[in-house]
A and B are shown apart, each in its own frame.
Chain A
Amino acid sequence: MTYPILISIAAPLVFLAACNGNPEPQQYGPEPALPKPQRGLLPSMKIAEPASWGDQRPAVPPGYAVAAIATDLQIPRQTLVLPNGDILVAEGRGGGAPTLTPKDVIAGVIKARGTSSVQGGDRLTLLRDADGDGVYETRTVFAANLNAPYGLALVGDKLYIANQDALVRFEYRAGQTTASGPPVKITDLPSSINHHWTKALTASPDGLFLYVGIGSNSNITERGMPAETDRAMVWQVDARTGAHRPFATGLRNPTALTTQPSTGQVWAAVNERDEIGPDLVPDYVTSVRAGGFYGWPYSYWGQNVDTRVRPQDSQKVASAIPPDYGLGSHVATLGLAFSAPTMGASFANGLFVGEHGSWNRNPPAGYKVIFVPFAADRPTGPAVDFVTGFRGEDGKTRGRPVGVTVDPRGALLVADDLSNTLWRVTPVAGVAAGASAASSTPSR
Chain B
Amino acid sequence: MLEAKPLHPLHAVLLASAFPLFLGALLSDLAYAQSYEIQWKNFASWLIAGGLVFSALAFLWALIALLRHAPRRGLPLVYCLFLLAGWILGFVNALIHAKDAWASMPEAVILSVIVVAIVGASTWLGFSTLRAGATR
Contacts and interface: CB of A to CB of B under 8 A. Distances in A.
Interface string A34-59: 00000101100000000000000000
B92 A275 contact: no
Contacts of B42: 100-101
B102 A310 contact: yes
Contacts of B61: none
Contact of B95 (A42, A225, A276, A309): A42
Interface in A290-310: 307-310
A220 interface: yes
B3 interface: no
Interface stretch (B13-21, B31-39, B75-83, B124-132): B31-39
A220 B100 contact: yes
Contacts of B94: 102
A309 B101 contact: yes
A238 B6 CA distance: 74
A439 to B, nearest CB: 48
A220 B101 contact: yes
B95 A219 contact: no
Given A41-B92, A223-B38, A224-B39, A101 B98 contact: yes
Contacts of B66: none
Given A100-B42, A102-B45, A310 B36 contact: yes
Interface in B1-44: 36-39, 41-42
Interface string A386-404: 0000000000000000000
What is the interface residue range for chain B against chain A?
20 to 34
Nearest to A297: B101
A9 to B, nearest CB: 31
A101 to B, nearest CB: 5
A101 B47 CA distance: 10
Contacts of B98: 101-103
A310 B42 CA distance: 15
Contacts of B100: 218-222, 275, 308
A39 B41 CA distance: 19
A117 to B, nearest CB: 26
A41 B101 contact: no
B102 A309 contact: yes
Nearest to B52: A102
Interface in B91-120: 92, 94-103
Contacts of B49: 102
Nearest to B94: A102
Interface in A4-56: 39, 41-42
Most chain A CB atoms below 10 A, which of B36, B46, B96, B101: B101
A108 interface: no
Contacts of A310: 36, 101-102
Contacts of B101: 218, 220-222, 308-310
A309 B39 CA distance: 15
B28 to A, nearest CB: 12
12 contacts: A39-B103, A41-B92, A41-B96, A42-B95, A101-B42, A102-B46, A219-B100, A220-B101, A222-B100, A224-B37, A307-B103, A308-B102
> Top 7 closest A-B pairs, CB basis?
A224-B38, A103-B98, A222-B100, A308-B103, A310-B36, A308-B101, A310-B102
Given A39-B103, A103-B98, A222-B38, 13 more contacts: A39-B99, A101-B45, A101-B98, A220-B100, A221-B38, A221-B100, A221-B101, A224-B38, A225-B36, A275-B100, A307-B103, A308-B99, A308-B100
Interface of B: 36-39, 41-42, 45-46, 49, 92, 94-103
